[in-house]
Amino acid sequence: MSSFSLFILAALLIAGGIAGFFLRKDLLTMLLSSEVALSGANLLLLVFASQASPTEAQAAVLAILTVAAAEVAVALAALAVVIREKGKATEDIVSEMKG
């Protein structure tokens, strides 16, 4: 695939992720959407990497993947707590962090 089409793919992933995040109310789906957007961003990084310096970007992507894995673990745990407490998990019922 040419790098151009990869760009398009990445853009689509990001746009879709963001759109999903905003349009859905279900927290789990929102989480999935954000992951999609993230993978889009990763893809973008890799594309750039193939054109400039490969090693550093690849390292960065690996780091991001690791962090993402950790982050998902925390997020899912938080989700589980929300479901246990409130019975369901939509974004409009959690606002404990209001300042």
Partner 1 sequence: MSLLLSGVLFPPALGALILILLGRLLSKRSVSWLSPAAVGISFLTSLLSFFLIKGKASLYLFPWLSVGGLQVDFSLLWDPLSSIMALTVSGVSFLIHIYSVGYMGEDPGYRRYFAYLNLFTFSMLLLVLAPNLPMMFVGWEGVGLCSYLLIGFWFEKETAANAGKKAFIVNRVGDFGFLLGIFLLFTLLGNLNFDYINYHANSLAPSAATAAALLLFLGATGKSAQIPLYIWLPDAMEGPTPVSALIHAATMVTAGVYMVSRLFPLYARSGLALNVVAWVGIITAAFAATIALVQNDIKRVLAYSTISQIGYMFAGVGVGAVSAGMFHLFTHAFFKSLLFLAAGSVIHALGTQDMREMGGLRKKMPITFWVFTIAALAISGIPGFAGFFSKDQILAQAYIRSKAIWAIGVVTAGLTAFYMFRLIFMTFFGEPRGWKNAHESPPVMTGPMLVLAFFSVVSGWFFSSFHGWLKPLGYIHLEELPESKEALLMGASVGLALLAIGLAWWIYLKRGKGFHTGFIHKLLLNKYYVDEIYNAAFVIPYREGSRLISRYFDIGIIDGTVEGSGRLTLQGGRLMSFFQSGFLKDYALWMAAGVVLALFVMLGRAL
Contacting positions for partner 1 (CB under 8 A): 18, 21-22, 27, 30, 91-92, 94-99
CB 43, min distance to partner 1, A: 18
- Residue 55 to residues 2, 34, 79: CA-CA distances in angstroms? 20, 26, 36
What does the angle CA 72 – CA 31 – CA 82 come to, to the nearest 5 degrees? 80
Q: For residues 1 and 97, which CB has a smaller minimum distance to partner 1 in the complex?
A: 97
CB 1, min distance to partner 1, A: 26
On whether the CB atoms of residues 6 and 14 are closer than 8 A, the answer is no
CB 89, min distance to partner 1, A: 11
